[in-house]
């Protein structure tokens, strides 16, 4: 390090960020935890109820069902992101001709605002005038128009497809960046040692990519576990409870039913689920150097 008494100066540099985060994240979080112990409309009514909301949440299976539904959703979305994202990142890293064009095209979904993606797919899925039904009917896969977002059986799958479409570029970019940071000479050394293409992938690429993959996996999982906007635009959690993931549920609890206390309690529980998932991944992949 630069000098022995540089410690204090380091603190000065991070001070603005620390103060901002304390004021804008830590304080609201503590305040949110505080609200979760009250039965409140945030203005006039402040009745302390202790752990009542938490007991209430666990007194029936509703909340657990939401969490399971959200996990189910997150699982398929993340699997989709990784299968497509990893595949495309590997290809984009191959230095084929004209690759930049593909790279720009494939990043597009990430650049569209979530609201736009939600509306666009709602339009594509439109039962009467949507492109999706028109194509499927022309090909002969379906005979009559299907209301993809209006049917409990298909809405869940439809929401997953849209989420994969929107989110794979981020995984692709993170992994591509990871691939590009692997030095060329390692591959050269492997080739000289008689490594085949697939062996080089197995023994050079994969281990070198592992740290990026773990971080990407953690971030992608928690990001999509908490996802709200596109599902809100597409189905508002319906039909029935088919796409009622936990973010939507909390949002309705707070701003439709004005149960701010219960909503806060649910949000705190969701944080623990996210934290557990992050912890689990780290244990699983042995990335314990944090």
Partner 1 sequence: METTKRKFSIFNMGMYAILIVASCLVLIPALWMVSTSLKSNEEVMISPPKWIPDHPTFESFTRIWKDYPFLDYFLNSVFIVVASTAITIAFAALAGYGASRFKFRGKGTFLSFLLVTQMFPSIMLLIPFYKVLKTFGLIDTHWGLIVVYIAFALPMCTWMMLGFFQGIPKELDEAAMIDGCSQMRTFVQIILPLSLPGIAATAIYSFLMGWNEYMFAFILVTTETMKTLPVGIGQLNGFYRVVWNDMMAASIISSLPLIVLFLFMQKYFISSLTAGAVKQ
Three-state DSSP state, 39? strand
Query: What minimum distance in Å lies between the beta carbon of 211 and partner 1?
Result: 6
Three-state DSSP state, 129? coil
Q: Which of 67, 69, 176, 242 binds partner 1 (CB under 8 A)?
A: 176
> Which residue stretch of 52-60, 146-154, 186-194, 265-273 sits at the interface with partner 1 (rule: CB under 8 A)?
265-273
Q: Is the dihedral of CA 128, 134, 138, 139 positive or negative?
A: negative
Contacts to partner 1 from residues 36-55, by CB under 8 A: 42
Three-state DSSP state, 46? strand
Cα–Cα distance list, 32 to 26, 42, 63, 251 (Å): 10, 11, 19, 14
Structure-token match 């100066």, residue found: 9
Query: What minimum distance in Å lies between the beta carbon of 103 and partner 1?
Result: 8
- Please, what's the largest Cα pairwise distance for the chain? 76
Should residue 7 be labelled a site residue for partner 1 when binding is judged by CB under 8 A? yes
> Which residue stretch of 60-68, 149-157, 187-195, 228-236 sits at the interface with partner 1 (rule: CB under 8 A)?
228-236
Decide whether 158 or 173 has the Cβ nearer to partner 1: 173
- What is the token pair recorded at 172? 């692709």
What is the distance between the alpha carbons of residues 165 and 108, in angstroms, rounded to a whole number? 10
Q: Which of 143, 184, 185, 290 binds partner 1 (CB under 8 A)?
A: 290
What is the distance between the alpha carbons of residues 215 and 235, in angstroms, rounded to a whole number? 30
> Which residue stretch of 12-20, 59-67, 72-80, 187-195 sits at the interface with partner 1 (rule: CB under 8 A)?
12-20
Instruction: Compute the half-sphere exposure of residue 167: CA atoms within 13 Å on the CB side of its CA.
Output: 27
Query: What minimum distance in Å lies between the beta carbon of 135 and partner 1?
Result: 9
Q: Which of 48, 123, 153, 284 binds partner 1 (CB under 8 A)?
A: 123
Looking at the DSSP assignment, which residues form a beta bridge with residue 39?
A: 47
Three-state DSSP state, 48? strand
Should residue 242 be labelled a site residue for partner 1 when binding is judged by CB under 8 A? no
- 265 in Cβ contact with 249 (< 8 Å): no
Should residue 71 be labelled a site residue for partner 1 when binding is judged by CB under 8 A? no
Contacts to partner 1 from residues 82-101, by CB under 8 A: 84, 87-88, 91-92, 94, 96
Should residue 178 be labelled a site residue for partner 1 when binding is judged by CB under 8 A? yes
Should residue 59 be labelled a site residue for partner 1 when binding is judged by CB under 8 A? no
Query: What minimum distance in Å lies between the beta carbon of 7 and partner 1?
Result: 4
């Amino acid at each position: 390090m630069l000098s022995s008494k540089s410690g204090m100066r380091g603190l000065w540099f991070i001070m603005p960020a620390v103060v901002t985060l304390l004021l804008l994240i830590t304080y609201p979080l503590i305040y949110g935890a505080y609200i979760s112990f009250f039965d409140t409309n945030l203005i006039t009514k402040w009745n302390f109820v202790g752990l009542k909301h938490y007991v209430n949440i666990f007194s029936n299976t509703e909340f657990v069902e939401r969490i399971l539904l959200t996990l189910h959703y997150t699982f398929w979305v993340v699997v989709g992101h990784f299968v497509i994202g990893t595949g495309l990142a590997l290809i984009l890293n191959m230095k084929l001709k004209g690759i930049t064009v593909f790279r720009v095209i494939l990043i597009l979904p990430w650049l569209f605002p979530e609201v736009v993606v939600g509306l666009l797919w709602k339009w594509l899925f439109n039962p009467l005038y949507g492109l999706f039904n028109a194509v499927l009917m022309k090909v002969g896969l379906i005979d009559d128009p299907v209301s993809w977002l209006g049917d409990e059986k298909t809405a869940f799958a439809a929401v997953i497809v849209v989420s994969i479409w929107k989110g794979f570029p981020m995984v692709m970019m993170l992994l591509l960046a990871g691939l590009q940071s692997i030095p060329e000479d390692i591959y050269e050394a492997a080739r000289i040692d008689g490594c085949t293409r697939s062996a080089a992938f197995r023994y050079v690429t994969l281990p070198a990519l592992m740290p990026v993959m773990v971080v990407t996996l953690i971030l992608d999982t928690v990001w999509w576990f908490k996802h709200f906007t596109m599902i809100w635009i597409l189905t508002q959690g319906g039909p029935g409870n088919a796409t009622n993931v936990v973010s939507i549920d909390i949002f309705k609890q707070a701003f439709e039913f004005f149960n701010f206390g219960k909503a806060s309690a649910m949000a705190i529980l969701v944080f623990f689920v996210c934290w557990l998932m992050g912890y689990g991944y780290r244990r699983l992949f042995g990335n314990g150097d944090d």
